[in-house]
Amino acid sequence: MGELWTNYVFFMACCSGLGFGSPNRCDEVRKVFQLRQIGPNQLLPLSPRPGSDLQVCMTKNLTCCTKKMEEKYQVAARRDIQNLVQTSSSSLKFLISRNVAAFQETFEVLMRQAENRTNAVFQESYRNMADQAMGPVRELFTDISLFLLGSEFNIDDLVQRFFDALFPLVYNHLINPGLSNLSPGYAECVRSSSRDVRPFGGAPSLLADQIARSGFSGKLLLQALHLGIEVINTTDHLQLSRECRRALLKMHYCPHCQGLTQSKPCMGYCLNVMRGCLASMAEIDTHWREFVRSLEGLSARMHGTQDLEQVLLGVHTLLHDAVGHAQKNGPRLSAQVHKLCGPPSRKPAQSVRIQHSSNSRESIPLNALVRVSGDSLAVRRRDFLNSLRLYRTLYGGLADQLCVSELASGDGLSCWNGTYIVKSYTLRVVGNGIKAQSANPEVKVKGADPVINQIIDKLKHINQLLQGKSIPKLGSLDQIETGSGDAEGRYSGECDDEDGCGGSGGGEVRRKVSRVSKFSPDVTGDHKHHHHHHYPPAEDSEMDGRSRSLGLTGAIWVLILPCLHMLMAF
């Protein structure tokens, strides 16, 4: 008897949901239409009307919708989903953007520290030439900074250019000092001889190699993060196909036409619609997971000669030793220069007073240089990757997350199945990805989305670079910007002017709906607790489509028949 009473209450709820007993059954529809700013109220009928002109929200009964309303509802449904998708990825986008800025700022601080340390070493050890060396030192670190931020520099050339500029100063003040500076012409000859006489031994090659290795890793990290933002921007503005837009309209707003403004879709129904609409986005899942793992791998390798911070803050030691090497080999270098350039030619002696005046400032003690950059690059990378790891399943579980947290009806509650208010959804629930959608009863997915394919190609390429499998010429990462990889055969399916297209294959029909976590990460790097949502196994929803028997007796039908007549009349 309890079950019969439950069924009776359920049907009475259906009746009351249609607004029976109220003066105008479309009043609630009008209120919601106005509240959500879907369109002008003039589009609504004053009372229920036949819906023969409707394209999606078709019904044999009277309806509160017009064709113009249906068009407005479709626009609203698409907007609602795009807003939800953008909201879901907004914290991830902020996390990456904030860390791109933080890494760039840390690079710049490291450059200033390395430059200051180098100048301090020259002041302490080679005071006479320190002030004149500041210009070449500043140019060296400026070039390295520009290289890290994307400029195409040949590291060997910029390092050699620095040592070429340094040699005349070393020769003038340490190897063959005089009462005045070298004349400009003779200084240029000494500079030009640097590559022949090799005054600094292997220091130029060693420094260039260290900067190239560590700089490439730092530059690649920034480039990968910029691509991560591009992936998010692409998925945030994904064009939905015509079939998807109609399915969203049917799920979100068609119940409004029947006066059911408070109804929510059944969980299985919502999963089918959202998995169909976001099928191409789910194709990113494998590559996005690999992207996160590859960034972790790159970070793990950034130590020693690949640790940019260690390399930059060690430049002063290498330069100190390089100048010491030249000074030690002074007699040999002086003879070689004399052979190439002749005897030294110097400026008039009075210029030496200007030099002494310039050199009279106090030296900067090296031990007085305190780190001011805050967290090291290694700490910043660790905190960032700990936060990024929380988003590795974003694209594979986005459809499920939206249904569980935002869209679908709760367990045990009556829900909308696309046609009626029911107790449960009885059609098969498909898995994620393009291939699984061939059996989707709610959304027809035609095939691959070219835009998604392009972003997947870029992810594949950056993953290879991050893993060290494909190393481009140092300083050249242009392929990431334009995308790479063989696009042949990737644009399957048909697209027309109105339709969007879904991403390419790779999605298997999953027999169970996997657990999806809805994260609220702290973008400052702190971890928050994970809130896991469990979905009912898909096999529980994979039925043959036949309606379940309500098991009602003739007695209960006597109570319900009047309500059913009212439903048909509406």
SS3 annotation, 261-277: CCCCECHHHHHHHHHHH
Position 200 scores a pLDDT of 94
pLDDT tens-place values along the chain, 570 residues long: 444 444 443 444 444 444 433 445 688 888 888 888 888 877 878 788 887 788 899 888 889 988 998 999 999 999 999 999 999 999 999 999 999 999 999 989 999 999 999 999 999 999 989 999 999 999 999 999 999 888 888 999 999 999 999 999 998 888 888 766 788 888 899 899 998 899 999 999 999 999 999 999 999 999 999 999 999 999 999 899 999 999 999 999 999 998 898 899 999 999 999 999 999 999 999 999 999 999 999 999 988 888 899 999 999 999 999 999 999 999 999 999 989 888 877 776 554 433 333 333 334 444 434 444 446 888 999 999 999 999 999 999 999 999 999 999 888 789 999 998 999 999 999 999 999 999 999 999 988 789 999 999 999 999 999 998 865 544 445 444 434 333 333 333 334 444 433 333 333 333 333 333 333 333 333 433 333 344 443 433 333 333 333 343 343 433 443 344 434 434
Residue type, 351: S
Position 44 scores a pLDDT of 79
C-alpha angle with apex 538: 534 to 542, nearest 5 degrees? 150
The first and second tokens of residue 325, run together, are: 């090497």
- Rounded to whole angstroms, the Cα distance separating 323 from 321 reads 6
- Smallest CA-to-CA distance from 454 within 220, 290, 283 is with 283
In sequence order, the β-bridge partners of residue 533 are 516
User: Domain spans of the chain?
Assistant: 91-240+262-345+375-436
Task: Say which DSSP state 346 is in.
Answer: B
Three-state secondary-structure class, residue 569: helix
- Contacting residues for 521 by C-beta, under 8 A, at least 6 apart: 91, 92, 95, 387, 390, 391, 527, 528
- Rounded to whole angstroms, the Cα distance separating 497 from 474 reads 42
Cα 139 to Cα 35, 134, 135, 142, 524: the distances in Å are: 61, 9, 6, 5, 34
Helix then strand count (H, E) for the chain reads 22, 6
Task: Determine contact, residues 131/98, Cβ cutoff 8 Å.
Answer: no
Residue type, 433: G
Burial of 549 (0-12, 13-18, 19+ CB in 10 A): exposed
Position 407 scores a pLDDT of 92
- Rounded to whole angstroms, the Cα distance separating 246 from 80 reads 13
Q: Residues of 453-476 as b/e, b for ≥16 C-beta within 10 angstroms?
A: bbbbbbbbbbbbbbeeeeeeebbe
Position 391 scores a pLDDT of 95
The first and second tokens of residue 65, run together, are: 């919708």
- Smallest CA-to-CA distance from 443 within 404, 499, 497, 393 is with 499
Task: Determine contact, residues 7/550, Cβ cutoff 8 Å.
Answer: yes
CA 291 to chain centre: 10
Task: Determine contact, residues 277/248, Cβ cutoff 8 Å.
Answer: yes
Element (H, E) at 532: strand 531-533
Burial of 4 (0-12, 13-18, 19+ CB in 10 A): middle
What DSSP line would sit under 377-412, residue for residue?
HHHHHHHHHHHHGGGTTTTTSHHHHHIIIIISPPTT
Task: Determine contact, residues 432/513, Cβ cutoff 8 Å.
Answer: no
Position 485 scores a pLDDT of 37
- Smallest CA-to-CA distance from 434 within 274, 278, 241 is with 278
Q: Look up tokens 């990024």; give the residue.
A: 388
Q: Are strands 421-422 and 62-63 parallel, antiparallel or unpaired?
A: unpaired
- Contacting residues for 434 by C-beta, under 8 A, at least 6 apart: 279, 280, 282, 283, 445, 447, 448, 502, 503, 504, 505, 506, 507
> What is the pTM assigned to this prediction?
0.72
Task: Determine contact, residues 294/61, Cβ cutoff 8 Å.
Answer: no
Task: Determine contact, residues 519/530, Cβ cutoff 8 Å.
Answer: yes
Position 42 scores a pLDDT of 79
- Smallest CA-to-CA distance from 130 within 139, 120, 140, 138 is with 120
- Rounded to whole angstroms, the Cα distance separating 554 from 350 reads 121
Residue 107: which region, alpha, beta or left (left: phi > 0; alpha: psi -120 to 50)? alpha
In sequence order, the β-bridge partners of residue 265 are 416
Residue type, 329: N
Q: Are strands 516-518 and 531-533 parallel, antiparallel or unpaired?
A: antiparallel
- Contacting residues for 540 by C-beta, under 8 A, at least 6 apart: none
CB atoms within 10 A of CB 515: 12
Residue type, 32: V
- Smallest CA-to-CA distance from 457 within 238, 223, 291 is with 291
- Smallest CA-to-CA distance from 241 within 208, 277, 209 is with 277
Task: Say which DSSP state 287 is in.
Answer: H
